[in-house]
Structure 1
Amino acid sequence: MAVVLVGFAESLAAIETIWDLLDSGHDVRAFSRGGRTPPIGHDRRVRVTPVTPPERDVDATIRDVVRLADRLGGPVCMPLDDAAVLVLDRVAAERPDLVVAGPVRAQARLALDKRVQLDAAARAGLLVPATLVVEPGSTPGLPPGPPPWIVKPALALEVVGGRVTKGGARFVATLDELHEELGSRHDTVLVQPALRGGGIGVFGVAVSGSALAVSGHERVRMMNPSGSGSSACVSREPAATMREAADTFVGIVGWQGLFMLELLEDADRQAWFMELNGRPWGSMALATARGLHYPSWTVAAALGRPVDVGPSPDTRPVLARHLGREALHLAFVVRGRIEARRRSRHGLSPRPDLALYPTVLTTLRSLLTWSRGSRLYNARRRRLRVLAADTLATLRDAIPARGR
């Protein structure tokens, strides 16, 4: 087995990914943004080293990670979030002898640039929303389709003034709102029709140009009904056409290792490509619960070892729920319903995203229902301190967001 250095340790996918690597016998070390202990730090098997946050000084982050990798004698490195993809890509450029179980060079650009992803998805035969790319300071063309639209950053993150920054997404309902939003942006953005539907994911591990152990999930609830990561999701077997599209996609781009294709399924059951996640995703608990060991398989592939994905997993549905995010989902719904009533009472134009919000009563019913086959993210019998720390961290991190 290998020494595997992962980061950032506070990322959503960290706990389940690290546990999968530990279950496979790897010696896992992690780096985190300095300042506090991440939830996985409460697992005594994992040594966590703080590094300079890339949002403060990305060059210092890279130097810190290089020193850490050198001290560990050249571990296998795995990114757990987009910031780590950027950092480890640059670390690999300085230490080309390091094995990175994640995207580097052209693959890193693909993982971070949605424009490249949309082009690859279209070539793979996936449905891609009509998209207007707007550079900062340019005169935008006509937006695609009728309103409402969503304006979102073209890059998952970028470096500005030596710091990693990330733009936000916003729904707009009129041309005036669109032009106001574009005028306030300093990053390249994508303008797309605000499609309605449910989020689905298609996962797999790519080895030698083929997608293996392809599985999927369907979002049951998003933490923020306006658009965010899920707070609950259920396993769902992808259709044969989607499996073929995933295989074509990884073959076209030459992908290696784990991947997630994030899609939106509309009322006509048409699946529209949204983005590629080229690092572990938030619902990794759902995969590992079904015996799909994507992180361990990715490390094996990076080391040139045989990847044995074993028999097909049990197809019975598994529901995975994140305790902290479920609590935040309720808070978002309450706040959204209050805002919708306020706008109606004062004769303000409706916000299109608020139409996606369920009622508070419906939300309470769904949150309090525990079905057979349900499990919690980040929960193991002898690791309950990790679950408690993760739940508290999730709630704590949301407080400044609500204040903003």
Structure 2
Amino acid sequence: MHLRRCGMKTFVLVTDAQPRMTLAVVRSLGQKGVNVLAAEKTRFAPALFSKYCKVGLVNPDPQKYPDEFMQWLIATLDKYPCEMCIPVDDATLDVIMKHRHKLERLTSFVLPPLEGYKVASDKGLSVLAAQQADILCPHTIIPDNLKELDVWIKNLEFPVIIKPRKSSGSRGIKYVEDKEYFKKAYLQVHKEYPFPIVQKYIQPVEKYGVCLLFNSASELRASFVQREVRHYPVNMGTSVVQESVYYPKLVEIGSKLMKSLKWTGIVELDFLVDQQGKAYFMEINPRFWGSLQMAVLAGVDFPWLLYRLAKEGDIEEVHTYKTGILCRWLLPGDILHLLTNKNRLSMNPSFLAGKKDNVYDDILSWDDPLPTLGFIMSCFRYLFDGQMWRFVLKGDHYEKHNNG
């Protein structure tokens, strides 16, 4: 896990320059003098416009063309002396985990064991792991065939959530209120995401993300908890505003689960707290999370800690940070929330809130303004992509099925 040492100038390769958490990684490392090389499927990606990105490259799509991406990655690591590679998004991480032994001869990574990763990246297997660790989860059905579909319907307690086993954000999730619509909704999800899981719907009072970093001995080295404040789509979607909070019990539960998987590196776990105050484990994100910038602002600089972990072998523990910090994903998340929220005038924090109200932004920065231009240019790239606009504007990543 130690970084390669070389007499010449070296880089840290950060993949997936489009998502906002990659921008947080690039800024964090760049501000500390690390030479960052970032890459994406297009040149029009926010992190590639950052002044902290020394070299920007275009790579093949790792989801559509994994073999070509792997060839590109090997060629890039041969051309540029990279002391470390930080894969950010799911598709890239899948390819790198599959070929890690070949790639580890070329650069350094901080990654979990393959078996643990397989469990963490599968929502069905992660629920089973949580249950085995005596962690509270919603009642869950994990199908492996369609023959017993009618049997499940008879035994289900509605409403339920149909959830893909592998997806990010709220893509493919369907909320079903009664039996009449279940079979159709399930088969729709199954067509794109084979054999999704089915969970009893828990009415949330609060949603939390527990962000953790483990060393190579699966010892917890950093922790951070965020409360979700606003979402898009409004009722059940990706969080667009979060607040830094302390919740030691959730850190304890999350750490217990990840230690059972012998975890190394970064991870984020989602929890839901119901009206009785019970905390339910929902899923694991085995990578950096969208709202990473807030943890950095609050005082837990996960990208820098990850880099130091690779360089030094181990680091001091970091579990204290500023609470009450709010950070939002204005472009486009909070704007879309504003446009679709019928109670927009009573939003708290207000849409117009800023730093004086302790509200910060994932992308906007006076110190590093050009990523905003990169985001705008990336929007033009998708200008005529109907599927992308349906996904963004209509919230096709979350659908509700009922008799209404």
Residue 302 (structure 2) pairs with residue 294 (structure 1): yes
SS state of the match for residue 227, structure 2?
strand
Bigger drift between 90-99 and 54-63 goes to 90-99
Matched-pair contact (CA < 8 Å) for 2:113–2:264: no
Structure 1 residue 223, shift from structure 2 partner: 2.0
1:167-206 correspondence runs (5 A): 168-184=172-188, 185-186=190-191, 187-197=194-204, 198-206=206-214
Write out per-residue CA displacement over residues 278-298 of structure 1, whole angstroms, 9 at most, x where no aligned residue.
111111111101221112222
2: CA distance, partners of 1:242 / 1:122: 15
Bigger drift between 128-137 and 196-205 goes to 128-137
Residue 48 (structure 2) pairs with residue 41 (structure 1): yes
Structure 1 residue 237, shift from structure 2 partner: 0.3
Bigger drift between 277-286 and 300-309 goes to 300-309
Structure 1 residue 93, shift from structure 2 partner: 3.9
Q: Which amino acid aligns with 2:174?
A: R
Residue 11 (structure 2) pairs with residue 3 (structure 1): yes
1: CA distance, partners of 2:81 / 2:364: 32
1:3-402 correspondence runs (5 A): 3-33=11-41, 35-46=42-53, 47-97=55-105, 98-103=107-112, 105-135=114-144, 137-140=146-149, 141-142=151-152, 145-156=156-167, 168-184=172-188, 185-186=190-191, 187-197=194-204, 198-207=206-215, 208-239=217-248, 241-309=249-317, 312-314=320-322, 316-324=323-331, 325-333=333-341, 359-363=343-347, 366-370=350-354, 372-390=357-375, 393=378, 399-401=389-391, 402=393
Structure 1 residue 24, shift from structure 2 partner: 3.4
Structure 1 residue 199, shift from structure 2 partner: 1.6
Matched-pair contact (CA < 8 Å) for 1:258–1:295: no
2: CA distance, partners of 1:51 / 1:183: 34
Q: Which amino acid aligns with 1:172?
A: V
Note closer, same or farther for the CA distance 1:364–1:269 as it changes in structure 2 (3 Å cut): closer
SS state of the match for residue 266, structure 2?
strand
Write out per-residue CA displacement over residues 105-135 of structure 1, whole angstroms, 9 at most, x where no aligned residue.
2233133211221122223342111111123
The alignment yields a C-alpha RMSD, in angstroms, of: 2.7
2: CA distance, partners of 1:296 / 1:218: 23
Structure 1 residue 147, shift from structure 2 partner: 1.4
Note closer, same or farther for the CA distance 1:365–1:378 as it changes in structure 2 (3 Å cut): closer
SS state of the match for residue 294, structure 2?
helix
Matched-pair contact (CA < 8 Å) for 1:17–1:280: no
Note closer, same or farther for the CA distance 1:49–1:313 as it changes in structure 2 (3 Å cut): same
Bigger drift between 361-370 and 148-157 goes to 361-370
Matched-pair contact (CA < 8 Å) for 1:99–1:303: no
Q: Which amino acid aligns with 1:180?
A: K
Structure 1 residue 300, shift from structure 2 partner: 2.5
**Taking every aligned residue pair, what percent have the same amino acid on both sides?**
20
TM-score, normalising length: structure 2: 0.83
Bigger drift between 383-392 and 244-253 goes to 383-392
Structure 1 residue 275, shift from structure 2 partner: 1.0
Structure 1 residue 369, shift from structure 2 partner: 4.0
Write out per-residue CA displacement over residues 197-245 of structure 1, whole angstroms, 9 at most, x where no aligned residue.
1320111211222223322010110121242221100011013x32322
Structure 1 residue 30, shift from structure 2 partner: 1.5
Structure 1 residue 365, shift from structure 2 partner: 7.6
2: CA distance, partners of 1:307 / 1:376: 28
Report how many aligned residue pairs link the two structures: 369
2: CA distance, partners of 1:381 / 1:365: 21
Matched-pair contact (CA < 8 Å) for 2:231–2:240: yes
2: CA distance, partners of 1:365 / 1:18: 28
Matched-pair contact (CA < 8 Å) for 1:233–1:321: yes
2: CA distance, partners of 1:108 / 1:249: 13
Structure 1 segments (4+ residues) deviating >6 Å = none
Q: Residue in 1 aligned with 2:7? A: none
Structure 1 residue 374, shift from structure 2 partner: 1.4
Note closer, same or farther for the CA distance 1:238–1:167 as it changes in structure 2 (3 Å cut): closer
Matched-pair contact (CA < 8 Å) for 2:223–2:251: yes
TM-score, normalising length: structure 1: 0.83
Matched-pair contact (CA < 8 Å) for 2:141–2:198: yes
Write out per-residue CA displacement over residues 333-384 of structure 1, whole angstroms, 9 at most, x where no aligned residue.
3xxxxxxxxxxxxxxxxxxxxxxxx534334983234462211112332211
1: CA distance, partners of 2:222 / 2:103: 31
Matched-pair contact (CA < 8 Å) for 1:211–1:250: no
1: CA distance, partners of 2:233 / 2:250: 27
Note closer, same or farther for the CA distance 1:384–1:109 as it changes in structure 2 (3 Å cut): same
SS state of the match for residue 108, structure 1?
helix
Q: Which amino acid aligns with 1:399?
A: W
Matched-pair contact (CA < 8 Å) for 2:214–2:263: yes
5+ unaligned residues in a row in structure 1: which ranges?
Answer: 158-165, 334-357
5+ unaligned residues in a row in structure 2: which ranges?
Answer: 4-9, 383-387, 397-404
